[in-house]
Chain A
Amino acid sequence: MSHLTKSNEAFWWSLFSAGGVMAALFVPVIIFVTGFVLPFMMGDDLESQYDRMQGLITMWPTRVALFGVIFLSFFHCAHRIRHILMDFGVRWAGVALLILCYGGAVAGTVVAGVVLARF
């Protein structure tokens, strides 16, 4: 305890907590609404279902909201994996582990952004 190591963990942790709220609260709601409620309400015609769902997703507010949920969930996941690995003794990997985990989240975020923008 003789020395203190300055930490930027607050940044990752804030993304982790926000992502936790998304993953625990919003993702199940989205799955429930888009997977069960809407299909049941839309009747049997699969083709019109698809069109209407696409119409919903391509609205810009939906795209932005989905992007927020996906991006934060990725960072939640990355942080969790990084800490599990650290608990398993992979502390020595330090910056490499940081790049691997959060880099993965950044890559996932970029892909999600591109897919959502072009949908």
Chain B
Amino acid sequence: MPQETITLEVFRYRPEEDKQSTFQNYDVPYHEHWVVLDAINWIKDNVDGTLSYRWSCRMGVCGSCGMMINGEPKLTCAVFLKDYFPKVIRVEPLVNFPVERDLVIDMDGFMEKLKSVKPWIIRDDTDQMDQEYLQTPSQLAAYKDFSMCINCMLCYSACPVLDGDPEFIGPAALALAHRYNLDSRDKGNEQRQDIMGAEEGVWGCAFVGECTEVCPKNVNPAGAIQQAKIASTKAWYRSVLLPWGKR
């Protein structure tokens, strides 16, 4: 039996030669156990070495292989060709980001947003940094799910708010901020409040919930943002009713 093939319709953009992006079709050998990333790697190795994209772990851990597959944000190492065969698979860069080249997006804005929420454990200057800060299993459980994010940015492509307002801090970064706010070892709540409680923070969220739908790690960013809205509301009332007190 001749080798069966499947067609990938791949987004191409080479800024030094193309004025506009185009789509290029590639026929790829079809194997039931191949994921979309295998097919893209096959193209790169056998047909067109100029195709640019990001990937690393091939096992849903590094978060670098996110692309739009038939219009949906997916980890390409986690979606199988067999789920689309024999139809054409359209592969595009993640939406809501500027495209650098082919399937590679510019993630500087995302990195800046991540950094802005101070996603690390904040302690007082007086704390001893060389001592251990113990945590009970239930204190760990309070934030564990929200800490599973791999920064794949699928939720940023799924979010309809980001489509209209690129300033919105976005699901992953807000969920991560909430993860640190919930951490019993952290004292950074107050420092994060300005950004969490801003229009661009939790209040930008319209609770559509698409981020939670597409998240490959079940982080539930939409849930984290809803919880953070309650925390932000308490902080707002405290700052208005007790302006002299600590927030």
Q: What is the bound-complex CA distance between A6 and B116, given in angstroms? A: 16
Residues in A lying within 8 Å of B, measured CB to CB: 1, 4-11, 13-14, 83, 87
> Can you name 22 A-B residue pairings with CB atoms under 8 Å?
A1-B112, A1-B113, A1-B169, A1-B200, A4-B195, A5-B198, A6-B197, A6-B198, A7-B198, A7-B199, A7-B201, A7-B203, A9-B203, A10-B197, A10-B229, A10-B232, A10-B233, A10-B236, A11-B236, A13-B203, A13-B229, A87-B206
Inside 8 A of B116's CB, which chain A residues have their CB? 1
- Count the A-B residue pairs with Cβ separation under 8 angstroms: how many? 43
Chain B binding surface SS class: helix
Q: What is the bound-complex CA distance between A4 and B235, given in angstroms? A: 17
Inside 8 A of A87's CB, which chain B residues have their CB? 206
Q: What is the bound-complex CA distance between A11 and B229, given in angstroms? A: 11
Q: What is the bound-complex CA distance between A35 and B63, given in angstroms? A: 55
Q: What is the bound-complex CA distance between A86 and B203, given in angstroms? A: 13
Q: What is the bound-complex CA distance between A9 and B225, given in angstroms? A: 14
Inside 8 A of A13's CB, which chain B residues have their CB? 203, 229, 233
Is B120 among interface residues, defined by CB-CB distance under 8 A? no
Inside 8 A of A5's CB, which chain B residues have their CB? 198-200
Q: Is the Cβ of A4 less than 8 Å from the Cβ of B200? A: yes
Q: Is the Cβ of A1 less than 8 Å from the Cβ of B109? A: yes
Inside 8 A of A83's CB, which chain B residues have their CB? 206
Q: Is the Cβ of A14 less than 8 Å from the Cβ of B198? A: no
Is B237 among interface residues, defined by CB-CB distance under 8 A? yes
User: 8 Å CB contacts to A: which residues of B183-203?
Assistant: 194-195, 197-201, 203
Is B45 among interface residues, defined by CB-CB distance under 8 A? no
User: 8 Å CB contacts to A: which residues of B208-242?
Assistant: 229, 232-233, 235-237
Q: How far is the CB of A88 from chain B (nearest CB, A)?
A: 11
Which 7 pairs of residues, A with B, have the shortest CB-CB distance?
A10-B236, A5-B199, A9-B203, A4-B198, A10-B233, A7-B199, A7-B203
Q: What is the bound-complex CA distance between A8 and B240, given in angstroms? A: 10
Q: How far is the CB of B197 from chain A (nearest CB, A)?
A: 6
Inside 8 A of B237's CB, which chain A residues have their CB? 10, 14
> Given contacts A8-B236, A13-B233, A14-B233, is CB(A1)–CB(B167) below 8 Å?
yes
Inside 8 A of A8's CB, which chain B residues have their CB? 236
Q: How far is the CB of B166 from chain A (nearest CB, A)?
A: 8
Most chain B CB inside 10 Å of its own CB: which residue of A1, A4, A9, A13: A1
Seed contacts A5-B199, A10-B235, A14-B233; 4 additional CB < 8 Å A-B pairs: A1-B116, A4-B194, A10-B232, A13-B233
Inside 8 A of B233's CB, which chain A residues have their CB? 10, 13-14
Q: Which residue of B lies closest to A5 (CB)?
A: B199
Q: Which residue of B lies closest to A84 (CB)?
A: B206
Q: What is the bound-complex CA distance between A5 and B169, given in angstroms? A: 12
Inside 8 A of A4's CB, which chain B residues have their CB? 194-195, 198-201
Q: What is the bound-complex CA distance between A42 and B203, given in angstroms? A: 48
Q: What is the bound-complex CA distance between A5 and B194, given in angstroms? A: 9
Inside 8 A of B198's CB, which chain A residues have their CB? 4-7
